[in-house]
């Protein structure tokens, strides 16, 4: 890997922490983002010339903090010029320049939330913002997702999400970027859980690019979910989300074959599933269920547990999965949940029962450009012995996806039905 590619890759992974470190100094999101970008530019200039550092992430963090401190010094200098009061200038400079980050790292709230990225997620999920804006902004700044990736997660036009992020930054201008107290953290928890969930989803099934997955995002989301378990041990949905992510993560290594091609769930070698993660997930699920009525993450974890407990695809309790989706749909109605339920019906009761449900969902505006709907229709049509229609649906799904690995699988299945490769 070239030094420039290494810098870009590490920066993408560490972006949230870099922005977090800068915003704690500057109390300004736009300036913090600029500092993180400046650190990347510095790396792109220095690493090809001097060679990559031993610890690329630490190098970028140091560079970001230096950029932030430079801005603080410039602020102080401007204040001196405007006020022309040397004594006040010296006092103000003493407050912000010397090792401010080290002082914050030792502060009492550090003991409450020991992870800088998680702290910033709580801060960015500010109550002055509507829920959609909280999640979109946090995913953009701290989750490392691009605006197009967030738009795919919400099934919205990219321009709509971009406007939400711009409005959110304006609304936060002048707000104190301080860690909220315990009571307010509980109020912000739902938005924080949504952010962690969507980060994992983008890692589990990348919306674009050449790879099916982005494992670094899965690892980051899983780490954050575990941190939340320690921070909010009495919240059932915290454990429900952790259970869901643990179980989903247990299957990551089985989702690609030796050639790097996607392997669908029924075809996966279950010996490759990580039993440690499954055990952690089932334990977290039991804990969530013991804390009260299950919420949406706990219900999804219970559905995932049906797969985890099955010794083979044939042993899967699809009836229980359909019942789980019924409960989830009643609690949190959405076209995507209805789509997942329809697919489960196809396995529990046969493709003839599922196909009308999928056809009805085609009228949902949010799903009209959703590749998984077309892919599910194709699978049901193929199982019903209607190869021509199935092939067209596979091609439609392939045209809708921005992920090269998923597109390749869909085109392969379409080509198999026609006896020749699909374009």
Asked whether residue 103 is domain-assigned, the answer is yes
Number of domains forming the structure of the chain: 1
pLDDT tier, 156 (very low <50, low <70, confident <90, very high otherwise): confident
Asked if pLDDT for residue 10 goes beyond 50, the answer is: yes
Asked if pLDDT for residue 82 goes beyond 90, the answer is: no
pLDDT tier, 339 (very low <50, low <70, confident <90, very high otherwise): very high
Asked if pLDDT for residue 363 goes beyond 60, the answer is: yes
Q: How many CA atoms lie within 13 Å of 23's alpha carbon, on the beta-carbon side?
A: 29
More confident residue, 6 or 91: 6
Tell me the per-residue pLDDT of 289-337, one tens digit each, with 9 for 90 and over: 999 999 999 999 999 999 999 999 999 999 999 999 999 999 999 999 9
Asked if pLDDT for residue 119 goes beyond 50, the answer is: yes
Question: For the chain, how big is the Rg over CA atoms in Å?
Answer: 24
Section 119-141 average pLDDT: 85
Picking from 406, 358, 362, the residue whose alpha carbon sits closest to that of residue 382 is 358
Do 291 and 235 meet the contact criterion of CB atoms below 8 Å apart? yes
By CB neighbour count within 10 A (0-12 exposed, 13-18 middle, 19+ buried), where does 224 fall? Answer: buried
Tell me the per-residue pLDDT of 369-398, one tens digit each, with 9 for 90 and over: 999 999 999 999 999 999 999 999 999 999
Q: What percent of the chain has pLDDT over 90?
A: 55
Structure tokens given for 146? 């691009």
Q: Which CATH number goes with the domain that contains 98?
A: 1.10.1740
More confident residue, 65 or 27: 65
Q: Which pLDDT score, from 0 to 100, does residue 420 have?
A: 53
Asked whether residue 98 is domain-assigned, the answer is yes
**What is the rounded distance in angstroms from the CA atom of residue 40 to the CA atom of residue 318?**
48
More confident residue, 317 or 93: 317
CA 157 to chain CA centroid, Å, is: 18
Q: Which pLDDT score, from 0 to 100, does residue 110 have?
A: 42
Helix H or strand E segment including 208:
strand 208-209
Asked whether residue 153 is domain-assigned, the answer is no
Q: What percent of the chain has pLDDT over 70?
A: 88
CA dihedral 27, 29, 35, 38 (to 10 degrees): -170
Q: Which pLDDT score, from 0 to 100, does residue 99 have?
A: 42
Asked if pLDDT for residue 141 goes beyond 80, the answer is: no
Longest CA–CA span in the chain (Å) reads: 85
What is the pTM assigned to this prediction? 0.77
Asked if pLDDT for residue 15 goes beyond 90, the answer is: no
Asked if pLDDT for residue 193 goes beyond 70, the answer is: yes
By CB neighbour count within 10 A (0-12 exposed, 13-18 middle, 19+ buried), where does 267 fall? Answer: exposed
Asked whether residue 102 is domain-assigned, the answer is yes
More confident residue, 407 or 182: 407
Residue-number span of the structural domain to which 48 is assigned = 4-107
Mean pLDDT value across the chain: 86
**What is the rounded distance in angstroms from the CA atom of residue 19 to the CA atom of residue 32?**
5
**What is the rounded distance in angstroms from the CA atom of residue 8 to the CA atom of residue 117?**
19
Q: Which pLDDT score, from 0 to 100, does residue 205 have?
A: 83
Section 336-352 average pLDDT: 97
Which of 37-51, 102-116, 147-161 holds the top average pLDDT? 37-51
Section 236-249 average pLDDT: 97
Asked whether residue 171 is domain-assigned, the answer is no
More confident residue, 86 or 113: 113
The residue behind tokens 């979910």 is 225
Section 231-241 average pLDDT: 95
**What is the rounded distance in angstroms from the CA atom of residue 322 to the CA atom of residue 303?**
9
Asked whether residue 77 is domain-assigned, the answer is yes
Asked whether residue 344 is domain-assigned, the answer is no
Tell me the per-residue pLDDT of 59-81, one tens digit each, with 9 for 90 and over: 999 999 999 998 888 877 776 65
Section 397-407 average pLDDT: 92
pLDDT tier, 101 (very low <50, low <70, confident <90, very high otherwise): very low
Section 150-172 average pLDDT: 88
In whole angstroms, how far apart are CA 283 and each of 273, 287, 299? 17, 6, 14
pLDDT tier, 143 (very low <50, low <70, confident <90, very high otherwise): low
Asked if pLDDT for residue 250 goes beyond 60, the answer is: yes
Asked whether residue 75 is domain-assigned, the answer is yes
């Amino acid at each position: 890997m070239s030094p420039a590619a290494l810098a870009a890759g590490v920066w993408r992974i560490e972006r949230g922490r870099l922005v977090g470190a800068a915003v704690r100094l500057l109390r300004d999101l736009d300036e913090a983002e600029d500092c993180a970008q400046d650190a990347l530019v510095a790396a792109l200039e220095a690493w090809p010339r001097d060679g990559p550092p031993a610890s690329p992430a630490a190098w970028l963090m140091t560079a970001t903090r230096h950029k932030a401190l430079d801005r603080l010094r410039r602020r102080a200098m401007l204040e001196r010029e405007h006020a022309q009061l040397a004594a006040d200038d010296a006092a103000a400079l003493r407050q912000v320049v010397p090792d401010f980050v080290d002082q914050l790292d030792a502060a009492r709230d550090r003991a409450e939330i020991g992870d800088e990225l998680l702290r910033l997620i709580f801060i960015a999920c500010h109550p002055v913002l509507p829920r959609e804006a909280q999640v979109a902004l946090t995913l953009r700044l701290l989750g490392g997702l691009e605006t197009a990736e967030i738009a795919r997660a919400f099934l919205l036009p990219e321009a709509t999400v971009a406007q939400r992020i711009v409005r959110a930054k304006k609304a936060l201008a002048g707000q104190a970027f301080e860690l909220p107290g315990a009571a307010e953290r509980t109020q912000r928890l739902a938005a924080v859980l949504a952010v962690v969930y969507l980060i994992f989803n983008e890692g589990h099934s990348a919306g674009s690019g050449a790879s099916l997955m982005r494992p670094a995002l899965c690892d980051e989301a899983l780490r954050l979910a575990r941190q939340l378990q320690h921070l909010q041990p009495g919240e059932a949905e915290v454990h429900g989300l952790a259970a869901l992510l643990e179980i989903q993560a247990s299957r990551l290594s089985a989702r690609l074959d030796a050639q790097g091609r996607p392997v669908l769930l029924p075809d996966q070698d279950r010996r490759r599933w990580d039993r440690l993660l499954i055990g952690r997930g089932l334990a977290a699920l039991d804990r969530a269920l013991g804390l009260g009525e299950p919420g949406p993450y706990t219900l999804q974890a219970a559905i995932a547990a049906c797969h985890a407990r099955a010794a083979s695809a044939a042993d899967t309790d699809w009836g229980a999965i359909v019942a789980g989706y019924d409960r989830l749909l009643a609690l949190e109605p959405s076209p995507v949940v209805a789509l997942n339920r329809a697919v489960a019906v196809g396995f529990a009761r046969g493709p003839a029962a599922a196909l009308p449900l999928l056809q009805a969902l085609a009228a949902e505006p949010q799903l009209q450009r959703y590749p998984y709907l077309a892919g599910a229709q194709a699978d049901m049509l193929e199982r019903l012995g209607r190869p021509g229609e199935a092939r067209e649906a596979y091609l439609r799904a392939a045209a809708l996806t921005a992920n090269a690995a998923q597109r390749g699988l869909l085109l392969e299945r379409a080509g198999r039905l026609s006896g020749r490769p699909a374009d």
